[in-house]
């Protein structure tokens, strides 16, 4: 599986992560699923209601509002992103334990040591596999 997104989507996630640091930033990516992979077309920054440097969670009210807004554009939620302000771009044990939606790609934006590193993962039955991310250059 591959997640394809315009550079602007990556930039938006990175900027959001830097603005919120040291709090964990979080959000959804909405897009479409194609035989070539998942195409992420919109990034929706969300409020981390934990307001924590170590945890994040969404409010259901905001989740439904954003999901319906994306649906109105013909998009579905394809990925959830969150930042690791001081740890690597890998899923933590807590990330894996709380990854209940098998269809959701998990994108991690690490800001560890002031370097940006982005990786994406699938979690199915607690088994983690890395997902390739590509920048869509045209169109």
Partner 1 sequence: MKITINGKGTAHDRTDITLAELLVINKVAAPHMVTVQLNGGFVAGDKYESIFIKDGDEVDFLYFMGGGR
User: Would you tell me which residues interact with partner 1 (CB under 8 A)?
Assistant: 24, 26, 50, 52, 54-58, 60, 63-64, 67-68, 71, 77, 80, 82, 84, 87, 91-92, 94-95, 98-102, 104, 106
Q: What angle do CA 126, 109, 115 make, to 5 degrees?
A: 130
Which is closer to partner 1, CB of 53 or CB of 136?
53
Nearer to partner 1, 8 or 101 (CB): 101
Assign residue 77 a region (left: φ > 0; alpha: ψ between -120 and 50; beta: otherwise): beta
Q: Select 7 or 59, whichever has its Cβ closest to partner 1.
A: 59
Q: Are 36 and 4 in contact (CB under 8 A)?
A: yes
Positive or negative, the CA dihedral 81, 86, 127, 98 is: negative
Q: At its nearest, how many Å lie between partner 1 and the CB of residue 137? A: 30
């Amino acid at each position: 599986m591959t997640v394809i997104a315009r550079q602007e989507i990556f930039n938006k996630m990175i900027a959001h992560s830097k603005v919120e640091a040291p709090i964990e930033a979080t959000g959804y990516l909405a897009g479409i699923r194609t035989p070539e992979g998942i195409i992420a077309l919109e990034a929706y920054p969300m409020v981390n209601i934990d307001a924590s440097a170590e945890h994040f969670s969404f409010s259901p009210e905001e989740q439904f509002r954003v999901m319906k807004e994306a649906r109105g554009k013909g998009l579905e939620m394809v990925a959830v992103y969150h930042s690791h302000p001081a740890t690597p771009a890998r899923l933590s044990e807590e990330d894996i334990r709380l990854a209940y939606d098998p269809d959701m790609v998990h994108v991690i934006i690490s800001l560890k040591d002031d370097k940006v590193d982005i990786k994406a993962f699938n979690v199915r039955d607690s088994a983690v596999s890395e997902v390739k991310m590509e920048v869509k250059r045209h169109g």
